[in-house]
Amino acid sequence: MSLVWKLLRRNISAGQLVGYALANLVGLTIVLTAIQFYRDISTALDDEDTFVTKDYIIISKKVSSLGGLLGKKVTFSKGEVENLKAQKWVRKTGAFTAAGFNVAASLEMGGRGVSTWMFFESVPDEFFDVKPKGWGFDPSRPRIPIIISKDYLSLYNFGFAASRGMPQISESMVGMIPLTISLSGNGKQEYFPAKVVGFSSRLNTIAVPQSFMEWANERFADRPIPDPSRLIIEVNSPGDPAIDQYFAGRGYEVAGDRLNNGKMAYFLSVMTGIVVTVGVIISLLAFFILILSLYLLLQKNRDKLRDLMLLGYTPRQVAANYRNIVVIINILVLALSVALMLLGRTFWSSAFEEMEMDLASTWPTILIGFAIMATITVCSIYAISRKITRLF
């Protein structure tokens, strides 16, 4: 222990340093815990099968009784689509393109043939939640890949098949069934091999590649392609109140409960932001407590500091003693905050695992805590050095 330290430590208030450490510990723990909780929730948002939706919304217009009887098409005009794209909460917008031709599917199993009318729709590939192998269309080697909604398979297995005593089928079995698709229109009829290559949780339709739809409409469409009747939107924040107000004012309907689930995600993000802000404010107050305590301490030791200057000590040598106090306390605060964050995480991690939701890595959160404490430490050291230089 240096003689300088023995001289300077006489006026150090242990109570003030403990108060700073506790306040900073509480603030940093709140910040790290809130950030980690939000990162775990965000990881859950990346899973389409979780209880909270990601940031995709499918909208349509309400069908009125009179309009339906008169055969009025309920579609989105180009002006309405452009107006929607201009909203601040919209990232990207895609349209469901309908087939302008007749579609029929048939298959043969055990010497028996089954056929049915069906429909095709397409959306830009970037809006799919699945990217199956073999997705795409080449006119020189025509084969139609199809993605269907998981709800359709569930309706068959647990509705139709269960009530008729028919066998239930899995997703892999559906993909093994060879289909023959008949496309007709514009005075033409052609047959194509097809296969179900994936199942979507996001899109409630029978989807084909956009490239195929454009090619087929150009070849078989015998009627003008109507404006889209449904739109898929990627939004910045699914629960933004402005979204609900916009849709309600124009009579738009949201498929399923996406908007309600989005409100849950938005509420969680807002609450996380509030908690992080409270933690940051507590940490800032703790920082000012430390600076005030050190300034008072330096003011008490003013005469001793001047004596040290006359003895040949430099401001850097004297500041090193106070700097060491700050560094040691901040390292302890960081270590305890990380430990408390990890302890707090155990309270929700088990619930997440029961719902088969993946948890995010804790390392980014720990690095954020390190960055916060490094910033506080650097600012404290700078303030100490500046004050001591002035006193010298």
Q: Is 178 exposed, middle or buried (0-12, 13-18, 19+ CB in 10 A)?
A: exposed
Q: What is the pLDDT of residue 4?
A: 57
**Please, which pLDDT band fits residue 10 given cuts at 50, 70 and 90?**
low
H or E stretch at 327: helix 315-354
- CA atoms of 264 and 257, how far apart (whole Å): 11
144-149/188-200 β-pairing: parallel
Phi (first) and psi of residue 64, to 5 degrees: -85, 155
pLDDT-based confidence at residue 13 (cuts at 50, 70, 90): low
Burial of 10 (0-12, 13-18, 19+ CB in 10 A): exposed
CA distances from 197 to 147, 152, 192, 194 (A): 6, 14, 15, 9
Q: Is the pLDDT of residue 189 over 90?
A: yes
Q: Which pLDDT value is given to residue 238?
A: 65
Q: How far apart are CA 297 and CA 301, in angstroms?
A: 6
Q: Which of 234, 46, 197, 240 is nearest to 123 (CA)?
A: 234
Burial degree of 33 (CB within 10 A; 0-12, 13-18, 19+): buried
pLDDT higher at 187 or 293 = 187
Q: Would you tell me how many other CB atoms lie within 10 Å of the CB of residue 273?
A: 12
If you average pLDDT over every residue of the chain, what do you get? 80
Residue of higher predicted confidence among 371 and 388: 371
Please tell me which residue, 62 or 307, carries the higher pLDDT value: 62
If you ran DSSP here, which 8-state letter would residue 133 be given?
A: T
Q: Give residue-wise pLDDT tens across range 196-226.
A: 999 988 888 999 999 999 999 999 988 788 7
Give the model's confidence band at 152: pLDDT under 50 very low, under 70 low, under 90 confident, else very high. Answer: confident
Q: Could you tell me the maximum CA-CA distance found in the chain, to the nearest angstrom?
A: 108
Asked if residue 112 has pLDDT above 80, the reply is no
Distance between CA atoms of residues 326 and 339, nearest Å: 20
252-256, 293-297, 333-337: which range is least confident on average? 293-297
Question: Phi and psi of 387, rounded to 5°?
Answer: -65, -45
Q: Give the chain's end-to-end CA distance (angstroms, integer).
A: 23
Distance CA 79, CA 88 (A): 17
pLDDT above 50 for 101: yes
| Segment 343-369 mean pLDDT | 82
Position with higher pLDDT, 41 vs 200: 200
Taking 50 as the threshold, does the pLDDT of residue 350 lie above it?
yes
Q: Predicted confidence band at 51 (pLDDT cuts at 50, 70, 90)?
A: very low
Our measurement of the distance from residue 216's CA atom to the centroid of its chain's CA atoms, rounded to an integer in Å, reads 36
CA angle, corner 196, sides to 159 and 49, nearest 5? 60
Closest of 134, 109, 104 to residue 120, by C-alpha: 104
- How far apart (Å, rounded) are the C-alpha atoms in residues 145 and 199? 11
Lowest mean pLDDT among 87-101, 188-202, 239-253, 260-274: 260-274
> In the prediction, which pLDDT does 55 show?
73
Give mean pLDDT, residues 25-50.
74
